[in-house]
């Protein structure tokens, strides 16, 4: 079956106030197709290959049954950031969004101080700037964030250019993680070749599937953090499976379902004791027609047309997933 879902977000994230995507099922399996609106069809084709691969091929066996995860803190007020960490289901690592449009350094510093207070002295803090700075600003700002956080585990994608990322890594004492420089690049191995990062952030949908992500992890030879592309529990389940297959010990950025006002399943993947279980997810709420997940007719038409275009571009036959009952 092919179903479009749409849900409000509990806080603005990546500039979004709603998250919309498509859930496809095949037999007892479910997978998600949810490339962001700004991505063109050629890049979205990678996301669809990940979706159909999850439905039609066996998932690599995992080497653990639970995955350590970080709590993700959007660009919210210090008070709200503190609340999110305390309500995170026992996460001892926090990834904090910084460099958000419409905010300034003072906002980021206050948010980090609140997160440190909520975590206590032994928790780990990461920041994610989503390419929000140029090199000069990153060199100036990162030491200040490091002090406010009481020490950063790493800074994720502070600048866009991979050469600048390498320069930044040599000039600051904060470890660097690469995300966009891997998943949006025609040459993802440049991150390793230029010694531009200490960690690699890998996401299943943008990289074309679990096996493609595993191959890239092997080629990069960097410590890996599996992360969410802001997906429902159906999409998150694949990220958890990737982390289990790679036997990742670092806390992974997969605990993002709390950002959704509504999930496609009645058994969402939310952390307990700072971990997520490795398990399949059934989108029962979506398949039952939960009105909280419905989108407007024009939005649904847009997503279904986009799916058809991307499938044609990728040479993927969607007939196998249409009108098939989910067991």
> What CATH code is carried by the domain that includes residue 40?
3.30.390.10
Give the pLDDT confidence score for residue 325 in this predicted structure.
52
Domain for residue 129, yes or no?
yes
Residue 191 included in any domain: yes
**What confidence tier does 327 reach under pLDDT thresholds 50, 70, 90?**
very low
Q: What residues make up the domain containing 154?
A: 66-281
User: What average pLDDT does the segment 129-150 reach?
Assistant: 97
Question: What share of the chain in percent tops pLDDT 90?
Answer: 95
Q: How many residues does the chain have?
A: 327
Same domain, 19 and 85: no
Asked if residue 127 lies in contact with residue 152, where contact means CB atoms within 8 angstroms, the answer is yes
Average pLDDT over residues 132-160: 98
In a domain, 97, yes or no: yes
* Per-residue model confidence (pLDDT) at position 171: 97
Number of domains in the chain: 2
Catalytic member of 49, 95, 97, 322: 97
Confidence of residue 323 (pLDDT cuts 50, 70, 90): low
* 203 in active site: yes
Q: How far is CA 202 from CA 88, 205, 240, 289, in A?
A: 22, 9, 11, 32
Q: Is the residue at 307 inside a domain?
A: yes
Residue 245 sits in the same domain as residue 301: no
Would you tell me how many other CB atoms lie within 10 Å of the CB of residue 147?
A: 13
Q: pLDDT tens digit string along 239-271?
A: 999 999 999 999 999 999 999 999 999 999 999
Per residue in 87-110, pLDDT tens?
999 999 999 999 999 999 999 999
- The CA-to-CA distance between both ends of the chain, in Å, stands at 11
Report if residue 326 sits inside a domain. Answer: no
157, 215: one domain: yes
Q: In this structure, is residue 265 part of a structural domain?
A: yes
CA dist., res. 240 & res. 246, Å (int): 10
**Active site (annotated) includes residue 322:** no
Looking at the fold, whether 157 and 183 belong to one and the same domain comes out as yes
Q: pLDDT confidence of 322, banded at 50, 70, 90?
A: confident
Report the C-alpha gap between 1 and 116 in whole angstroms: 44
Q: Over the chain, what is the mean pLDDT?
A: 96
């Amino acid at each position: 079956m092919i179903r479009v879902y749409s849900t409000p977000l509990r806080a603005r994230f990546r500039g979004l106030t709603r998250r919309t995507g498509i859930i496809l099922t095949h037999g007892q399996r479910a997978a998600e197709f949810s490339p962001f609106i700004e991505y063109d069809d050629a890049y979205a084709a990678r996301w669809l290959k990940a979706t159909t691969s999850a439905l039609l091929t066996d998932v690599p066996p995992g080497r653990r049954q639970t995955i350590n995860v970080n709590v993700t803190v959007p660009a919210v007020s210090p008070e709200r950031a503190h609340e999110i960490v305390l309500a995170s289901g026992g996460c001892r690592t926090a990834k904090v969004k910084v460099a958000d449009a419409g905010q300034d350094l003072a906002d980021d510093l206050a948010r980090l101080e609140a997160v440190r207070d909520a975590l206590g002295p032994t928790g780990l803090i990461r920041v994610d700037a989503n390419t929000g700075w140029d090199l000069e600003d990153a060199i100036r700002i990162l030491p200040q964030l490091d002090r406010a956080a009481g020490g950063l585990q790493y800074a994720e994608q502070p600048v866009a250019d991979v050469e600048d990322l390498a320069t930044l890594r040599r000039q600051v004492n904060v470890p660097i993680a690469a995300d966009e420089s891997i998943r949006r690049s025609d040459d993802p191995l440049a991150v390793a070749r230029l010694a531009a990062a200490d960690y690699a952030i890998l996401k299943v949908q943008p990289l074309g599937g679990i096996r493609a992500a595993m191959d890239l992890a092997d080629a990069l030879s960097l410590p890996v953090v599996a992360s969410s592309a802001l997906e429902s529990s159906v999409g998150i389940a694949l990220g958890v499976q990737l982390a289990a297959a790679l036997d990742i010990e670092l806390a992974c950025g997969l605990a993002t379902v709390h950002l959704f006002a509504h999930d496609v399943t009645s058994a969402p993947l939310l952390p307990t004791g700072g971990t997520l279980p490795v398990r399949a997810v059934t989108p029962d709420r979506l398949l039952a027609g939960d009105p909280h997940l419905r989108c407007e007719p024009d939005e649904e038409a847009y997503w279904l047309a986009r799916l058809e275009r991307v499938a044609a571009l990728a040479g993927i036959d969607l007939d196998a997933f249409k009108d098939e009952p989910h067991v």
